[in-house]
């Protein structure tokens, strides 16, 4: 579970809407991309 400030949650909501995603979907995409980058650095 992730706890966000109201401002951060609103920013995530705006970004997600622009990308046609939910906030959860946006966080999932970001997590997967970070995982890929971390694996490439190894």
pLDDT of 4 reads 87
Q: Calculate mean pLDDT across residues 3-23.
A: 94
pLDDT tens-digit map of 17-30 = 999 999 999 999 99
Greatest C-alpha distance within the chain: 35
Q: State mean pLDDT over 6-15.
A: 95
CA 18 to CA 27: how far, in whole Å? 14
Residue 21: count other Cβ atoms within 10 Å of its Cβ: 15
């Amino acid at each position: 579970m992730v706890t966000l400030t109201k401002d951060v949650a609103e920013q995530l909501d705006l970004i997600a809407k622009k990308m046609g995603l939910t906030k959860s979907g946006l966080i999932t995409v970001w997590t997967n991309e970070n995982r890929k980058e971390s694996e490439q650095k190894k």
